[in-house]
A and B are shown apart, each in its own frame.
Chain A
Amino acid sequence: MNDGTTLPAAMAPDPDLLYSEDEDALRAAVRSLLAARSDPATVLAGLQSDVAYDTGLWHSLATEIGTAGLLVPEKLGGAGATAREAAVVLEEIGRAVAPVPYLTSAVLAVTALLGCEHDRADVAASLAALAEGRTVGVLAVPLPTAPGGLSGPASVRADAGGALTGRVTSVADAAAAELLLVPAQGPDGPALYAVDPSAGGVRTDTVTPLDLTRPLGHLTFDGAPGRLLATGDRAGATVDRALLTGAGLLASEQLGVAEWCLAETVRHTAERTQFGRPVGSFQALKHRMAALWLDVASARAAARNAADALATESPDAPVAVAVAQSYCAPVAVRVAEECVQLHGGIGMTWEHPAHLYLKRAKSDELALGSPGRHREALAGLVGIAAP
């Protein structure tokens, strides 16, 4: 255990915490699409339907704007961008609580595939399909899994012929998946398999999720045919990198959720009149909103720092991600909770969209490692050892 003999200060890098012009342009394109096609009323109306996600919206976002391939190099059919650009897309998705499988397919599944041998034709073909938004890929892990959190015994086993048996619970966007990437215990140790969920031997049981905009399902494998993607350390490392990237970029989604909640709360309290004046003029309320503003401004710095560390493959990325997740997750929850409270009775209704953001924020807090799990990771990373 590093107990502070080498100070982490020495390795803290010089991150670029601003948005570039290209990133601003990407944001404008995504925001205008989501404003037109995924406003809160549309999202609310879609919740009652049985579809796994908004397929038309996904096609526009993933394929027409081309956001699905941001993390994929150009020679593999992607846009050759970085985690910084994907983070901007996630901010906007958070701001619109858009029901699309971006985090699962374009971040987690893509990163997991990128860590495999992508000069293999089948891996390259899968990556290209994900990058173009033709296929929705899902990494089959429980949504709460933290980076480094799959080190225990695998819940899925593969036999020598590549047939998978076992169960993975609470997988985000499981029902939307057209390609499953399944960590499993193979005949020679830990491995990662690709499974076509339509090929038989795979059952998806949807569950009723707390966050209706990010569907969950339990996956049961009963001799499902798997294609071996990676084995041993490589399998472990690529899943870990995917989880680290996912957790780091989730902070940007949390930032977007928090931004919307604060903006709506400010707008509402500046208009809502009681006791003969706007309720937002009372210090008891405006001080709370000012404190939330500082939380959001700080969350932006933390989320940008994580995205930049991932984009530059900085050795500081595990610290940056743990800091961003332990900070941004509770900020999103706090701002969403205050949004409900400061809206008064209307905030408690189904027709007002505040509940969508509260549910997304609370679900995101558990996703890819709770804040406490990330602080525990940090204890080891920066030499603040437990008693």
Chain B
Amino acid sequence: MISSRFQVMMIAMLLAMTGLFVAWYKVVYLGVPVTPHDKRSVFTVTAEVDLEGTGAPASVSLRLPSTQPGMKILEREGEAGEFGMTTALMDDGELLHWTKRSFDAKSKLFYKIRVTPEPLYEPQDSQALWDTTPAYDDTQFWDASEQAAAAGILNYAREHSADAISLAAQLIDMFNTEMPTDAVKELQAKKNETTASLVMALLAREKITFRKVRGIMLEDGQKKRRAVTLLEVKGADESGYFSFKTGQITLPENFFVWSLGNRAMMTTKGIAKARLRFSVSEAKVAASMLSKREMLKQGNDFLNFSLYALPSSQQNAFKQLLLIPIGALVVVIFRILIGIRTMGTFMPVLFALAFIQTTLISGLAMFFVIVSSGLIVRSYLSRLQLLLVARISAVIIVVISIMSVMSIVSFKLGIDEVLKITFFPMIILSWTIERMSILWEESGAREALTQVGGSLVVAIAAFFAMDNDFVRHLTFTFPELQLLVLAMVILVGRYTGYRITELVRFAPLAGR
């Protein structure tokens, strides 16, 4: 037989771990923000195409970015102007077509995409296509001496490398050194060839699989930049990234890949001049807004289950409701761990809920006014020797009258806050008055004030715990944390140690 204490521990551990795990998963993998004011960067990357027409039917095709690890695409939007705009899904990604029957003017076309960096984001349909077509068949363009030079360079590089990746590194190094070999110089002297095209031609000769990675650094204020072209070389089980200027690099974290593969980013027909440029602007957006919208749009099954999926009126009800366990936890702590006596077990939570609606100061003021005038009325009623139920009912009616009078008077005086008092649960107030006066009669003013004071102290503590943006955010966005609260309540429920107030109560005993 497992002892009940052990069972309690196990259940509490299990609950706490489940709650924390789900919350952790949401934070780390779904990017749900932990704090309500957590700001996240959203970059707007705009591809801008400047066009000059020829009068013939015009078409512009732009390759579009696909999902990629570490970058979440929030929105895409194209602007076509007078052009028609369609997108086509090809086997190497999406293609955007802008088309027009006749075009002879200058024009600008835009395609905007909004992304946010998310380090651990892993898209399901990541494009991993490798373009293996021998794109650089140089044999017909290069003469014999150039071919010999190329063979020499490759021989050297092959000897001084271990695999495809290090060979590519070696090649780029040879082209970028301050004192290139004669063979390199000969190739560099060729017209219309750049380091990039030469390196790729050599890699193609060597039958090494590579692809261009074109994209842009996500930095605020980039205007009209050309796409950065990097080289990705496929190794045995991983690939290496290269910059044609600096050799092997790691892909920068804020590098947004626009297109993968060796085909051109943009192709045109019937266009005299076309120029593709990129701009980047950064905006800081409250993370909670971001993820809320994301959750709903993405249709993530897990998050579809969240409270954000409810209509907003129900959401607001739940926002209140989910705070109650926090208040209950405060009561548990104050009663069991500290040992403050309160009037009724959860009366303080109800007080706190009322204070949230009225604000603390005006709520407390109302409480004092209504309870003290209620006590006076009730002491008179007790002289009338009414039966219990009738007496409480009478107190309720009197409390409502006091509240009405206060509301009218304060409205005339222009104090709006008092109007909110109508939310103050009058039944609770009436019961407080009734119980307090009974306690007063039987156990004296001291006991009655101790208990009411204790209730107010706990209510104020619960108010601060509940009326707190961070707590509101956590309870609503991470309802699974209720399990953690439950675990804490269960654990405190088995606490058999001393209460803090007992350190005073039993002091004369232990001191002797």
Q: Do A and B interact with each other, yes or no?
A: no
